[in-house]
Amino acid sequence: MLGAFFISGTRIPAIERAVTSLLILKWRLFLFPEATAIIRNEVKSMNTQIIAIANQKGGVGKTTTCANLGIGLAQAGKKVLLIDGDPQGSLTISLGNPQPDKLPFTLSDAMGKILMDQPIRTGEGILHHAEGVDLMPADIQLSGMEVSLVNAMSRETILRQYLDTLKGQYSHILIDCQPSLGMLTVNALAAANRIIIPVQAEYLPAKGLEQLLSTVNKVKRQINPKLQIDGILLTMVDSRTNFAKEISALLRETYGSKIKVFGTEIPHSVRAKEISAEGKSIFAHDPGGKVAEGYRNLTKEVLKLEKQREKNRAGLGR
């Protein structure tokens, strides 16, 4: 039926196989319409962007960045899930759940089901926030889960296995990592295809950054070769001080040649600190403020980076 494919008298089996596969796929879709939905979900799953927000140093704006970048992406029309990967539950609390330990289902329960090879119902435990994002919350039980992971099989990939059940439902999944390089953070890096590193501009944690970058490289080498660093994000920048400007310049000089430093800087703001008790984003709290503008610009940078990578992949595929 297909005939043979020749170029200057030479048969090309690879082209024959490709055409045969396309015809088989066409007939499957014709005979089994439900296959269309399956394939569509598989494509969505392949395109889901999983971004870890990580730095083992606490107080650098990881949770604030995760929440506001996630909501910024939702405002740009993306379907977003936020994962609270910190037993302190800071992201959960900041999005309007002041008592995480009273929630019926959290990330530790989801990971526990993966460990026990138990099914997870669609959407089980996922909360919806009024500003358009979904949230998988965390509570102190996640600390116990981290201990359980130490002796578990495939311990570095438990979170990834859970996220694999959700990928087709979201365009973006953002993980707020705990301030350490323990097993939970390793799980986040093993699950992610991208990482954003917030760094407070008042403090240059050069040694801490080197430790994190070493862990990222190890995870990339041994577990997750697709992991890429999106960039370093300067947070809590007080542009009025020379000290902040010097640190910003030094950070760009030290890492800018090998790791992108985002052009966007998140300014220091007292008003931004007020939102943690309100359960809403900076966009809802102070939409005209400099911090909201900063996170809008960060959202644009992240989406621009995605488009550039897609274009590069398309170019390589030609």
Give tens-digit pLDDT for 303-314: 999 999 998 888
Q: What is the pLDDT of residues 113-143, one digit of tens each?
A: 999 999 999 999 999 999 999 999 999 999 9
Q: What is the pLDDT of residues 36-68, one digit of tens each?
A: 444 444 444 458 999 999 999 999 999 999 999
Q: Which residue has the tokens 């953002």?
A: 174
| H-run or E-run covering 271 | helix 270-273
Compute the CA torsion angle 211, 214, 218, 224 (nearest 10 deg): 90
Architecture of domain 48-317: 3-Layer(aba) Sandwich (3.40)
Task: Give residue 250's pLDDT.
Answer: 84
> What are the residue ranges spanned by the domains of the chain?
48-317
Q: Burial of 44 by CB count in 10 Å (0-12 exposed, 13-18 middle, 19+ buried)?
A: middle
Q: How far is CA 31 from the centre of its chain?
A: 37
d(CA 36, CA 38): 5
The residue among 183, 108, 189 whose CA lies nearest residue 145 is 108
| H-run or E-run covering 85 | strand 80-85
pTM of this structure? 0.84
d(CA 11, CA 229): 44
